[in-house]
Structure 1
Amino acid sequence: MQASIPATDGYPLRGRVWRHSDSDPQRPVVIVNPATSVRCDYYARFADYLHRQGFDVVCYDYRGIGGSRPASLRGFHASWLDWGRLDFEGVLRWSAARFPGQPLQVVAHSVGGFLIGLAPSCGQVQRVFSMGAQFAHWRDYDRQRRLGMLFKWHVAMPTLSRLFGYFPAKRLGWMEDTPTGVVRDWTHRSPRFEDAYRRGPQAMPATERKTLAEGFAHLHGATLALSITDDEFGTRAAIERLLAYYRNSPRQHLRLPPQALGFEAIGHFAFFHSRFQDSLWPIALRWLRDGRVDDSLSVYLVKEPQHQPVTC
C-alpha cells in the first residue's frame, strides 16, 4: 500500500506499508531506513518477506530521493540532519499513531543506522537490526579500495554537485540523484560526525553539537549490527565508530565473511537481494523476532568491540 507520511516539518514523504488486516498489539512494526540515496522500492522484497513472517512494515524515501523528490533538486535543501531529525522522526511518530501500542523496530541499511540517533523519539525503538551501518568517514574505507573511493565520493561527487546544484548520480548509474546538503555531510573529513557542523551553512554552537551527539544515548533498544568482510564501506572500524554513539543500546556486532555462508562476495548492498532470502535474511528475522543470534553464527560475533569513546 502506498502512503504519504508527513515529516515533522510537514514535508510529504512517499512510503509503502505492508499491514496485516487484523490488529495485534504484540505484532512489531518494522521501519526500514534506506541507505543514502537508495529508493525504498529497493527494499520491497525484504519488506514483503518480513510481512509474510508476521510483521507490519513501513518503508519510505527520504526527502529529495525517489518518490519524495521535488520537481527540481537545484537549490533544494536536505541533509542527513533533516533525514534523521525530521524525516525518520516523522515516520516514527506516524507509525506509532497508525499502529498504536505495537512495538517499533528498525531495519537500517548504511546511513539509515546513523539516522536513528538523530531522531528525538528514538527511545521508542525496541530493537534495531542494521546492515553495514556507518556514516562514511573516509579513513574507515577498506584500505585496498580507499584511493578509488576517495576520488569517487570525495572528489567527483562534491565537484559535480557544485556544477549542477545537486549530485546527478543517476546519469552515472551510481544511485539516486542527491541533494547538495547530503553530499556535504557525506564528504566532511572529521571522524566525528558532529564536527561537520562547526562551520559553514549548518554551523552550530558547541553546546548544540554536544546535544546532537548525546541524543544517540536515548536509544535503549538492543542492536544487532551486521557487517560483511568484503563491504568496502562497512569495515570493522566504521561499524564500531557508529556503535560507540549508541552507548545505552545493548549492542552486538556480527561480522561475517561471505564464505561462511557459501558465497564468494556479498558487499555493501546485496544483503537485500532476494537470492539471500534463505541465508542472510533469517539472521535479521531471528533478531527482530527473538533478539537472538543463531548459535551457529556466534563464532563471528565481535566479542569485545573496541568502541571509541564519545566525547564532544
Structure 2
Amino acid sequence: MQIESPTRIAATDGYPLAATLYYSDRLQLPQRVAIINCATGVKAGYYARYARFLAAHGYLAITYDYRGIGASRPLSLRRLKASKFDWGSKDFEGIMQWVIKNFPDAGIAVVGHSIGGVLPGFSASSGRIDRMLTVAAQFAYWQDYAVRARYRMLLKWHVLMPLATALVGYFPGRRLGWLEDLPAGVAYEWAFRRARLQADGAGRLFPQLRCPLLAYSISDDDFGTPAAVLRLLRHYRGSERSHVVVQPQELALAEIGHFAFFHDRFSGNLWLESLAWLDSGTVARQVADFLPAEPAACRAPEVSKVSVLPL
C-alpha cells in the first residue's frame, strides 16, 4: 500500500513549505529519495502521479510548493518578496537539508521540470545529489523560444506579464488563466531575463553539481527548445550531461508540449525511461548532445554567468 503524507518542511530562512511524502508502507528506511522540483507557476500536486510511480518503485518521493505557490502561499502575495533564486537557495536547499538530516545514507535523485532544473544550481548542497533528471529545463530567455511562437510568447510573458504585475502587485496568473499567481519578484525576473546573466556569488554554485545529468527536451515544446536546454546545461560544468529529444510522433501522438511528460499516460514509456536513468544511469534513447564534465581547474568562478537580476 502507498502512503501519502502531507507535511511542512522549513526553507533555510524558516519559511514553511508545504510538502508531500510518497512512499510504500513496505519501505522501512529509504535508500533512495527523489525530490521533484516544479515548473514556474505549477502546484506540486501536478506531479503527484509521477511521485506515486516513483514510490511504487522503491523511492521516497517528495513534492513541495515553492514559497508563494499553492499550499505555500501566504495570505498576501503582494507583501511576499520572493525570487527564483530564493526558490533554489532557500526552498530547494531547505528540502535538501531536511533529506540529508533525516536520511543521511540515502541516495538523492532530483527531478526538475522547467525552472525546477535550474534551482539546484543555486543550492549549497547540490554536491550531495547523486543523479539528476531534467525535463524541458531552461531559463525562459525569449530568444530561445521556438521560432513559431517566439513573438507571441515575448508579448505574453515579457510585456503583458510585467505590466499586469505592476498593476496588481503580483502576477494574477490564475485570474488570466496563465498558470498560478506568481510573486512579483518571480514574474519580473522571468520577464527581464537576459541571455547572459551577471555573475555573483550564487552563480559559483552551479559547477558544484557533480552528478550525472540527463536532460529531456520535447520537440514540440515552445519553451524548452534544444537551444534553451543546452543554455542551461552549459552552466553545470562539473557534471557529465546527456541531452535527449522526444518526438511526439514516435509515441503516436500529435503533441506533448511543455507539461505532458508528467501525465500518467506516459507511465509505460517515458516514465520507465526516467526510472532506468534514476536507478542505474541507463539512457534509453539516442543522445543528441553529450557534454563531459570539466576538470575542476577549468571551472573558475568568474566564468559562471548564472545569477538573478536585481529586482
TM-score, normalised to structure 1, is 0.90
Residue 69, structure 1, aligned to residue 61, structure 2: no
Aligned to 1:134, the other structure's residue is in SS state: coil
Residue 232, structure 1, aligned to residue 222, structure 2: yes
Q: Distance in 2 between matches of 1:62 and 1:4?
A: 12
Q: 1:306 to 1:100 in 2, by over 3 A?
A: closer
Unaligned residue ranges in structure 2 (runs of 5+) = 294-298, 306-311
Q: Distance in 2 between matches of 1:13 and 1:99?
A: 19
Letter in 2 for 1:288: L
What's 2:59 paired with? 55
Note if contact 2:240-2:290 (Cα within 8 Å) is conserved in structure 1: no
- Could you give the per-residue CA deviations for residues 6-62 of structure 1, whole angstroms, max 9, x where no partner exists? 00000000000013443346x210000000011000000000011001111011000
TM-score, normalised to structure 2, is 0.90
Which of residues 186, 190, 200 is equivalent to 1:186? 190
Post-superposition shift, 1:212?
Answer: 2.0
Give RMSD over aligned pairs: 1.7
Residue correspondence of structure 1 range 270-285 to structure 2 within 5 A = 270-285=260-275
Q: Distance in 1 between matches of 2:170 and 2:280?
A: 42
Post-superposition shift, 1:188?
Answer: 1.8
Note if contact 2:65-2:72 (Cα within 8 Å) is conserved in structure 1: yes
What's 2:42 paired with? 38
Aligned to 1:19, the other structure's residue is in SS state: strand
Which of residues 179, 184, 188 is equivalent to 1:175? 179
What's 2:152 paired with? 148
Q: 1:95 to 1:305 in 2, by over 3 A?
A: closer
- Could you give the per-residue CA deviations for residues 266-296 of structure 1, whole angstroms, max 9, x where no partner exists? 00001111111112111111100110112xx
What's 2:309 paired with? none
Aligned to 2:63, the other structure's residue is in SS state: strand
Q: Distance in 1 between matches of 2:16 and 2:34?
A: 20
Letter in 2 for 1:128: M
Residue correspondence of structure 1 range 153-164 to structure 2 within 5 A = 153-164=157-168
Which of residues 206, 226, 251 is equivalent to 1:216? 206
- Could you give the per-residue CA deviations for residues 78-121 of structure 1, whole angstroms, max 9, x where no partner exists? 10110000000000001112223101110100000001110111
Question: How many equivalent pairs are there?
Answer: 292
Note if contact 1:240-1:306 (Cα within 8 Å) is conserved in structure 2: no
- Could you give the per-residue CA deviations for residues 153-183 of structure 1, whole angstroms, max 9, x where no partner exists? 0111100000000000001111111000001
Note if contact 1:30-1:104 (Cα within 8 Å) is conserved in structure 2: yes
Which of residues 12, 20, 44 is equivalent to 2:16? 12
Letter in 2 for 1:212: A
Aligned to 2:179, the other structure's residue is in SS state: coil
What's 1:249 paired with? 239
Note if contact 1:43-1:272 (Cα within 8 Å) is conserved in structure 2: yes
Aligned residues: percent identity? 46
What's 1:259 paired with? 249
Greater shift after overlay, 184-193 or 144-153? Answer: 184-193
Note if contact 1:132-1:225 (Cα within 8 Å) is conserved in structure 2: yes
Unaligned residue ranges in structure 1 (runs of 5+) = 196-208
Aligned to 1:82, the other structure's residue is in SS state: helix
